Amino acid sequence: MLTWRDVIKTGMGLLGLSPSAFWSMTFGEIGAASEAKSENDEIQQRAEWERARWLGVIIMQPHLKKGRNLKPKDLAVFPWERTPLKGSKMTKEELFEVIEQRDGWQN
């Protein structure tokens, strides 16, 4: 159960809202802003992991046999890049995410 203290910590701490901005918002607005921040943080973390993998490929490439090209997914496949097995049950949100990744859609 959320307490007022948790809501204040989320608004002023996590989101960095000023007291006047925080107290002028509804619970729904604070919740939506918190979700957006979490999604943004996840996108940034994914980008950092993908950048590290790409850097690993660049570092390893000169040490491979002549004519061999290393691709980033040859080093690591991240959980968000995996496609689920056929016949597995997914939620609607998971299905939409798989379709977006497959088709290259961006919000």
Domain borders along the chain are 4-76, 77-107
pLDDT tens string 16-50: 999 999 999 998 999 999 999 999 999 999 999 99
CA distance 3 to 23: 15
Report residue 84 as tokens.
């689920």
8-16: Cβ within 8 A, 24+ apart: 10/34
Average pLDDT of the residues of the chain: 87
Residue 5 has pLDDT above 60, yes or no: yes
Judged by DSSP in three states, 1 sits in coil
Opening angle at CA 71, ends 67 and 77, nearest 5: 150
